[in-house]
Chains A and B, each alone.
Chain A
C-alpha cells in the first residue's frame, strides 16, 4: 500500500506548484522580514522599557481575564448547545459564531451602542451603579471576551459532542445529579477541548484590536494593549513596534506549537 517515496501519480503540475510556493512565501516573508528588522542588540532594554512593559502586562491581564469570562459563560453555553434539547438550537449556534466573522470594529460599535454611557444597558449601569465600561480596563476585557468567546464555545461544544454521553448515564445510575455529573464526569472528559478552546480564546483576546480600540479607546496604562501599542508605536518609534510585534509573534508560535493539530480536531 505504501508508496515508499516513489509517486504513482506522476509529477506535480507546475500550474499548481508555482502558486503554492508563492502562497507560502506570501505567508512567511513578512514574518521573516519582521525577524530581520528586529533591533536584536537593544531588544532586552526596549522590551523592558516602561511603555512596552506596561502594554504587555495590560495585555496579559486583559486577555487572561477575558478568557476567564469566556470559560465561565462559554462552557455552560457550549453544554446547552450540545446537550439540552431546546428549540432553535441551530439558530443559536449560528448566532454564537457571528463574532467569528463579524469585523471586530463592528463588534466594538455594537458594544458601544449597548454598553456605552448612553447605551441600552450602559445607561442603567451608569444610573444605578455609577459604573461605566467604555474606555476602561474592564471595557477591554469585555471587548476581548466578545470577540474571543466563539472560539471557546465551538471548541468545547465539539468536545462535548465527541464525548460519549453514556458516561453521564453511568454517573446518573450511581446517584449523581446532573450538576455533579457535569463537574466530575463531563468536564474532566472534555478537559483537552476546554484547554484547546481556552488557549485559542486567549490568543485571540491577546491580539484583539478593532473592538478594543472602538469600545475601550486607547488610553496608555488603562486600555492600550499590545496590538494598540504596536499601531501607535509605528508612527512614533518603529523599533518599539517591531519589538512588540515580535512578542506577539512569539506568543502565536507558542500557541500553535502547544495546540498543533488539536485545535483543528477540537473545532470539528
Chain B
C-alpha cells in the first residue's frame, strides 16, 4: 500500500501544493529551506492540519479528502518524531514508549513489556525509568523514535529529527537513525532542511521551495543533475561511501580520498564543490588528494561555474567543483579536457555510515 499525499493548504499568502508518494520500506526526504512548507505538509499528513484541498490516503484508506473525509490524527496509523521530540516530561521513558500502545488499547503489562523491548533495541533499557529531562539529546531522540515506532505504524513521519542535537552527537545519531529506518518496513517521510541528512538517510528526495516541488529523484541523481540553481546550491555536495582505514578512505566506486583526521570502518565522505581546485599542470611535490580528472560537464550558475569531473581511477568517479568564471577563462575549460583536481583535506567531513 502506497502513501499518497496531494497536499494543498493555503495560509494567508502562503500556498502549499505538493504531490508525494511513499512506498512501503521507502524513505522519502522532503528537503527545502525553512518556510518552504515542509512541516505544514507533514502536519497535514499526520492529521494535525486539515487539507484545504487534495487528498491523503494510505492505499485505499482515505485519511483526508475535503470536504467529506477527515480522519483525526489519533485514528491514523502513524508515528511522528517531532523536532524537539515532545516527550512527556511527567512520564518515564518507558511510559512514553508505552503511551501509544496503551492509547491503542494494549493492556498495561503487555504495553510495558513491549515498550521495554523497544528501548532495549536502541540500547536504552537501563534508562526505562528515567524522566525525559534526565536524558541526553541523542537518548531523547531515540526514545522519541521508538515511541513513534512502538505502535507499528504504517507511516513514520520525522520532522527535522536531528535539528535539536549538537554537532558532535549528530554524526552518531544520524548513522543510528539510518539503521533503524532501513529496518523499518513502513513508509517513512523525513522533513529536513539539511541536505546531508536527506542524502544520507533517504532513498528519494523531494525538494520543496515556496510550497512547490522543484525536483525529486534519487539523491545521487539530484546531486548530479540539479534542475535549478537553488537545488544545485542545496545538494551540490560531493558525497561518497567508502571504507576508512587510518587517514585513507577507499571509495565504494573506486578511487581513494585522504582525510585530515583518521577514521575507521564504513563512512560517508562529504565535501562542498568549493573545496576543489583545478589546475592545468600537475602541482609540484605530491599533495594528497590530487587526481587527474576529465571534464564531463560545465554549468553556469549565478556567481560560479559548476564543473563536473571524472577522476577515476585514482579519485571519485563524479566530482563537482565550483570555480569562478575568471578561472574558467584561465583554464580554457571545455568538456573532455584533462585537468588536475585538488581537494583540501580540511574541508572534508566524514560520517560513520
Asked if residues B103 and A167 are in contact (CB atoms below 8 Å), the reply is no
Q: How many residues of A contact B (CB 8 A)?
A: 19
The A contact surface, by secondary structure, is helix
Does A125 touch B at the CB level, under 8 Å? no
Interface of B toward A, CB cutoff 8 Å: 46-48, 72-76, 78-80, 82, 86, 88-90, 99-100, 103-104, 147-148, 151, 157
Given contacts A173-B73, A174-B151, contact A166 B82 (CB under 8 A): yes
Contact between chains at B74 and A189 (CB < 8 Å): no
Q: Is A32 an interface residue (CB 8 A)?
A: no
B78: nearest residue on chain A (CB-CB)?
A: A173
With a cutoff of 8 Å between Cβ atoms, the chain A residues found around residue B80 in the complex are 170, 173
Within 8 A of B (CB), among A143-201: 164, 166-167, 169-178, 180, 184-185, 188-189, 191
In the complex, how many angstroms separate the beta carbon of A223 from the nearest chain B beta carbon?
Answer: 40
| In contact, B74 and A175 (Cβ under 8 angstroms) | yes
Given the known interface contacts A175-B100, A175-B104, A189-B89, the answer about A169 and B74 at a Cβ–Cβ threshold of 8 Å is no
Q: Which chain A residues border B103 with CB–CB below 8 Å?
A: 171, 174-177, 180
CA distance A177 to B103 in the complex (A): 8
B73: A residues at CB distance < 8 A: 169, 172-173
- A170 cross-chain contacts in B, Cβ below 8 A: 80, 82, 86, 88
Total of A-B residue pairs, C-beta within 8 Å: 62
Residues of chain B contacted by A174 (CB below 8 angstroms): 74, 79, 99-100, 103, 147-148, 151
Contacting residues, chain B, for A177 (C-beta < 8 A): 74, 103
Q: In the assembly, what is the distance between CA of A5 and CA of B73, in Å?
A: 57
User: Which A residue's beta carbon lies closest to that of B43?
Assistant: A169
What distance in Å separates the Cβ of A162 from its nearest Cβ neighbour in chain B?
14
Given A172-B47, A184-B99: 5 more A-B contacts, CB < 8 Å? A169-B86, A175-B74, A175-B103, A175-B104, A188-B90
Residues of A within 8 A of B148 (CB): 173-174
Chain B residues whose CB sits within 8 angstroms of the CB of A173 once the complex forms: 46-48, 73-74, 76, 78-80, 148, 157
Q: Are A189 and B90 CB-contacts (below 8 A) given A173-B78, A174-B100?
A: yes
Chain A residues whose C-beta falls within 8 Å of the C-beta of B100 in the assembled complex = 174-176
The complex places the Cα of A184 from the Cα of B88 at a distance, in Å, of 9
Residues of B within 8 A of A185 (CB): 88
> Which residues of chain A are near B147, meaning CB under 8 Å?
174
Residue in chain B with minimal CB distance to A170: B86
Complex A-B: 7 CB contacts under 8 Å:
A170-B86, A171-B99, A172-B72, A173-B48, A174-B74, A174-B79, A184-B88
Instruction: Determine the distance from Cα of A174 to Cα of B80 in the docked complex, in whole angstroms.
Output: 8
Q: What separation, in Å, do the CA atoms of A167 and B82 have in the docked complex?
A: 10
What's the nearest-Cβ distance from chain B to residue A75, in Å? Answer: 17
Q: How far is the CA of A119 from the CA of B174 in the complex (A)?
A: 70
Bound-state Cα–Cα, A170 to B99, Å:
11
**Shortest beta-carbon distance from B57 to chain A in Å:** 18
Given A172-B72, A175-B74, A177-B74, also A166-B86 (CB < 8 A): yes
- How far, in whole Å, are A172 and B78 apart by their CA atoms in the complex? 10
**Bound-complex Cα distance A172 to B99 (A):** 11
Q: How far is the CB of A6 from chain B (nearest CB, A)?
A: 40
With A173-B73, A175-B74, A176-B74 already in contact, the answer to whether A167 and B88 are too (CB < 8 A) is yes
Report Cα–Cα, A166/B89, bound state, in Å: 13
B76: chain A residues within 8 A (beta carbon): 173
